[in-house]
Amino acid sequence: MASYRLYYYDVRGRAENIRLLFAQAGVKYEDIRFGKEEWTAKYKSEASFGRCPFLVVDGTTKISGSANIIRYLGEKFGMAGKDEIGNALLGGTSDYLDDLIAHLTTLFFASDEEKVKLAAEFKEKTVPQMFPVLQKHVKDGHFIGSNGKLSWLDIHAFNLINDISKRFCVNLADYPELKKLVDEVGSLPNIKKWIETRPKTDA
């Protein structure tokens, strides 16, 4: 079995999807967390692109990009699409999630004044535009492409949608397919256990 070290800030942020995937797969890894100062002084120069999260496999290979990492690990741990086309379908939906994440990143770096306006726009415009499109790609609680079984994308999306619904008080009952997916992934014993026992952080 390969060894894994995951490097990210001591927040959920862009690494939580990967931590959830490790939890679901029951695979051990080192969850290396740091603050901003430590990142700049110690870890940034180690990252291939000067960004985190990054994953070190077997002490040598460095893999970057949160969606790329979860996809790589998902494929290794039996949570891939049903075939090449299935993988490409999941990849397309993952790209769409990147657009959603980009809105949250803009919000994160906005001034306090702008934050109020951008948060309202996100809840009132972005979510009602993007969630219905996203849910067209879900069938029976799983994203299309995985042949009706749990995939890395289900976990990736669960993390994001669950976070958005809590942070912006989005009623998931308005998006029944997304709700089903969130409820199903959220009730998996390994996922539940990780959420109950994970380090408590603000973001």
Ligand X SMILES: N[C@@H](CCC(=O)N[C@@H](CS)C(=O)NCC(=O)O)C(=O)O
* Residues binding ligand X (CB under 6 A): 13-14, 44, 50-53, 65-67
Cis amide linkage into residue 128, ω under 30° from 0: no
Q: Which is nearer to ligand X, 41 or 116 (CB)?
A: 41
How would DSSP label each residue in 42-81?
IIGGGSTTS-S-EEEETTTEEEE-HHHHHHHHHHHTT---
Q: Which is nearer to ligand X, 55 or 181 (CB)?
A: 55
As measured in angstroms, the least distance from the Cβ of 176 to ligand X is 29
As measured in angstroms, the least distance from the Cβ of 101 to ligand X is 7
How would DSSP label each residue in 76-143?
HTT---SSHHHHHHHHHHHHHHHHHHHHHHHHHHS-HHHHHHHHHHIIIIIHHHHHHHHHTTEETTEE
Q: Which is nearer to ligand X, 22 or 175 (CB)?
A: 22
As measured in angstroms, the least distance from the Cβ of 140 to ligand X is 28
Q: Which is nearer to ligand X, 67 or 89 (CB)?
A: 67
- Which residues, 6+ apart, have CB-to-CB distance to 170 below 8 Å? 123, 127, 131, 164
As measured in angstroms, the least distance from the Cβ of 193 to ligand X is 25
